[in-house]
Amino acid sequence: MSGAGGITGAQQDIAAGDIPVDTPRLPAREAAESELSKPMYHENDPNFLQRALNQFWDWVAGVFDAAAGAAPGGPAGLAVLVVIVIGLAAALWWRLGTPQRSARSTDALFDSTGPRSAAQHRAAAEAHAAALRWTEAVQERMRAIVRSLEQRALLDPRPGRTADEAAAEAGRTLPEHTARLRAAARSFDDVTYGGRTADQSAYLSLRTLDLELDEAKPLLLPGTSRGATG
């Protein structure tokens, strides 16, 4: 009988150990993960930076999508809001101008104890120099230079002017001293903001410049009303 014979053959196969393979789920998944972790499957994967950028842009897109959904009129309404914000920012910038330096930076050139003459700043600088306080001497001598230029009408008195700005403005009417004015301003900035310590050489350089500027003849530019001389 064929039916009986077939059953008998199947029983013989089972008895011989030919049991159909049935791999459990967990070992099968581990085997698949191990196989897929091989480098050959990841040659064209994006690197870490690319993945980070992709995640960032996905986040940005999500933010805009959420904003567009919340804004009246959807994406078109969001675009109008962005234009309005940009316009307000431009108007504020035009009205207020470039942000000024902090109060500490503003008071660094001329302190808040009240205006003093160039002679007073020179006297203070000499006192600091006599006590070997070269950093303070450099600061006071730079203040003396700028105050002297203001008193001679070569610089317009302007609160908040920095040493760099004063050097640049003074160089227009005293072009022969432009480089040394900028070097003096740099020395002032180094000891005031850069945490450096001045030495005798730095002070003597500013002292010599101060004395030379006091005798220098300004170059009056076309349209300049200043009539002061050395």
pLDDT in tens, 192-213: 988 899 999 999 999 999 999 9
Which residues contact residue 151 at a Cβ distance below 8 angstroms, ignoring those fewer than 6 apart?
117, 118
Could you tell me if 122 and 210 are in contact, meaning their C-beta atoms sit under 8 angstroms apart?
Answer: yes
* Nearest-angstrom CA–CA distance, 142 and 146: 6
Answer with the residue of higher pLDDT: 152 or 219: 152
96 burial (CB, 10 Å; 0-12 / 13-18 / 19+) is exposed
Residue 45 pLDDT? 64
136 pLDDT above the threshold of 50? yes
Summarize the confidence of residues 39-62 as an average pLDDT. Answer: 72
Using 50, 70 and 90 to split pLDDT, how confident is the model at 225? very low
23 pLDDT above the threshold of 80? no
Percent of the chain, pLDDT > 90?
36
Residue 191 pLDDT? 93
Per-position b or e across 137-175, b if 16+ CB within 10 A of its CB: bbbbbbbbbbbbbbebebbeeeeebbbeebbebbbebbe
Could you tell me if 181 and 170 are in contact, meaning their C-beta atoms sit under 8 angstroms apart?
Answer: yes
Residue 104 pLDDT? 43
44 pLDDT above the threshold of 90? no
- Phi/psi of residue 135, nearest 5 degrees: -60, -50
Answer with the residue of higher pLDDT: 208 or 82: 208
Using 50, 70 and 90 to split pLDDT, how confident is the model at 84? confident
From 122, 195, 118, select the one nearest 153 (Cα to Cα). 118
DSSP secondary structure string, 37-53? TSGGGSTT---HHHHHH
Q: How many other β-carbons are positioned within 10 Å of the β-carbon of residue 136? A: 17
Using 50, 70 and 90 to split pLDDT, how confident is the model at 49? confident
* pLDDT single digits (tens) 26-40: 666 776 667 666 666
Using 50, 70 and 90 to split pLDDT, how confident is the model at 132? very high
The pLDDT mean for the chain works out to: 76
Residue 190 pLDDT? 93
Residue 82 pLDDT? 75
Residue 213 pLDDT? 92
Residue 105 pLDDT? 44
* Nearest-angstrom CA–CA distance, 153 and 147: 10
The stretches of 71-173 forming alpha helices (DSSP H) are 74-96, 103-109, 118-130, 134-151, 163-173
What pTM did the predictor assign? 0.51
Summarize the confidence of residues 172-200 as an average pLDDT. Answer: 93
**Least-confidence region, from 43-57, 75-89, 100-114, 151-165:** 100-114
- What the block records as the tokens of 41 is 């499957």
Q: How many other β-carbons are positioned within 10 Å of the β-carbon of residue 209? A: 19
